[in-house]
Amino acid sequence: MTRIVTRFTAGVLAAAAITAAGVAPASAGPFERPTAGPQDGAAAGQNAARGHLVSVSHLATMSAEQVRAWLASEDFDTASVRYGVDTYRLVYRTVDARGRATTASGLVVLPRNRDRRLATVSYTHGTTSYKPDAPSTADDVWGPGPAVTYAAAGFAAVAPDYLGLGLGPGIHPWKDVPSETSASLDMLRAARHFAPRTGRVLDGRVFVTGFSQGASSALGLARTLQGGADPHFRVRALAPISGAYDFRGAELPALLAGDIAPKMAVAYTSYLLTSWNRVHGGIYGSPSELFREPYAERVEKYFDGTTPGHVMLDGLPDTLDALLTPRGFALLEHPSGTFAEALRVDAEVCTAWTPRIPVRLYKMAGDEQAGTANTDHCAAGFRERGVTVPVVEVGDRLYGGSRHLGSNLEGTARIVRWFGELR
């Protein structure tokens, strides 16, 4: 049993973990939620505020030796550590899932070296259902570990908490590609505003990575940066790890076939349906339509950000048969309506754009949470657009008994070296 006993991202095998990008167009349908833009004065003002700092907190200073010991305590690779680091929590202005002004938080880690101009790594984290487990508020190594790894190698590292996690208000819209992307982009902007306070400058080069849920977020951020969403930032490379990129074509079939760890299948299904019903509407009118009692009366509470991961897991059943009504199973087996459209949009991170940058997709065979067919389908989507994307097998690594979590450790170790070669 690891120290991460309250995290959704630490898996049932250790205690609990999970999986899952584009700024939404400014128009009307349920999946084309408006982001602030120049259409009128109010919108232009809101857009200008995006990424502006609300507050900054210095969290810690570590020497290179302390970084190595800290990372090694949770089995992160330390071979790329060259510098000590300073860690900071930023609270910044962004937009919510409906394009309205809000705030979010995130972690910035800077190397303690003499470089004034720094390239940036954006790391988007895996799923958590509990606000304090986000990178900027976590009290463990798992959440901020990758960002510290990249900073200790000489990058400025930026790790958004996403909407509704960390110090962000409201409920996190899990696996909502547009808001994950806008929160990540605005976190980069906030980091750019902050860096001069430390005598540093973010030089505009951005290397993008993320794990599990954050793998899709990373694809979405790279897509929007390549599209010119902010002229200061230039995406240089993309390296997501173990994502659930094709929920309809890969993850849902694996869930239903029993190829995903049963407890995690229950947790993911519950989170997906409750989150998308909040974001899009139309998934269900009452939880009892899809969830059996006694879970129907409490499932939404488990995913409102206030319930520790171990409490959520203990309160949910061990199997999908015990969780879902016949109507719930039918929706997963034959998606329709709002749910089907949301699945289509979610998969667009691998089907609706053509990368013009180096891309590598990282996965681990036998992943018990994000079926590896997700990565294969993503690579096939890019191949259909004329781009051959290498798929990198990261070997055989466990963390708390989980291959999924182990892939984050091994993937981060490989990606920091690759980004260093490209810098």
- pLDDT level of residue 8 (50, 70, 90 thresholds): low
Dist CA 301 CA 129 (whole Å): 11
CA nearest neighbour of 220 among 160, 272, 267 = 160
pLDDT at residue 4, rounded to an integer: 30
Least confident range of 43-47, 100-104, 215-219: 43-47
- pLDDT level of residue 47 (50, 70, 90 thresholds): low
Average pLDDT, integer, range 199-224:
98
pLDDT at residue 213, rounded to an integer: 97
**Residue extent(s) of CATH 3.40.50.1820 domains in the chain:** 39-245
Average pLDDT, integer, range 320-340:
98
Residue ranges with strand state E in 30-138: 53-62, 85-95, 101-111, 117-124
Average pLDDT, integer, range 82-104:
97
Per CATH, which fold does 39-245 belong to? Rossmann fold (3.40.50)
Specify the amino acid at residue 361: L
Average pLDDT, integer, range 338-343:
96
Bridge pairing between strands 85-95 and 101-111? antiparallel
Dist CA 319 CA 79 (whole Å): 41
Average pLDDT, integer, range 44-56:
80
**Burial grade of 365 (CB within 10 A; 0-12, 13-18, 19 or more):** exposed
**Model confidence at 13: pLDDT above 50:** no
pLDDT over 90, % of the chain: 88
CA distances from 123 to 26, 170, 185, 300 (A): 26, 22, 12, 28
Residue 69, CB half-sphere, CA atoms under 13 Å: how many?
A: 5
Dist CA 343 CA 247 (whole Å): 7
> From the CB of residue 139, how many other CB atoms can be counted at a distance below 10 Å?
10
- The token duo for 296 is 């129907």
Q: Are 104 and 186 in contact (CB under 8 A)?
A: yes
- State if pTM tops 0.85: yes
CA nearest neighbour of 348 among 389, 377, 386, 371 = 377
pLDDT at residue 397, rounded to an integer: 93
Least confident range of 36-50, 91-105, 166-180: 36-50
Average pLDDT, integer, range 384-407:
97
**Model confidence at 121: pLDDT above 70:** yes
CATH number of this structure's domain 247-344: 1.10.260.160
- pLDDT level of residue 48 (50, 70, 90 thresholds): low
**Helix (H/G/I), strand (E/B), else coil: 309:** helix
pLDDT at residue 3, rounded to an integer: 29
Dist CA 134 CA 167 (whole Å): 9
Q: Are 173 and 21 in contact (CB under 8 A)?
A: no
- pLDDT level of residue 16 (50, 70, 90 thresholds): very low
pLDDT at residue 36, rounded to an integer: 33
Residues of 44-74 as b/e, b for ≥16 C-beta within 10 angstroms? eebbebbbeeeebeeeeebebeebbebbeeb
**Strands lying side by side in the sheet with 101-111:** 53-62, 85-95, 101-111, 156-160, 117-124, 201-211, 234-241, 361-363, 391-393
**Model confidence at 142: pLDDT above 90:** yes
Pick 392 or 28 by higher pLDDT.
Answer: 392
pLDDT at residue 18, rounded to an integer: 36
- pLDDT level of residue 29 (50, 70, 90 thresholds): very low
List of residues 6+ apart from 326 with CB closer than 8 A: none
**Residue extent(s) of CATH 1.10.260.160 domains in the chain:** 247-344
Pick 6 or 262 by higher pLDDT.
Answer: 262
**Model confidence at 309: pLDDT above 60:** yes
Structure confidence by residue, pLDDT tens digits, 58-90: 999 999 999 999 999 999 999 999 999 999 999
Average pLDDT of the residues of the chain: 91
**Model confidence at 34: pLDDT above 50:** no
pLDDT at residue 325, rounded to an integer: 98
Dist CA 16 CA 264 (whole Å): 8
Average pLDDT, integer, range 255-266:
97
Place of tokens 């958004």: 160
pLDDT at residue 78, rounded to an integer: 98
Pick 19 or 358 by higher pLDDT.
Answer: 358
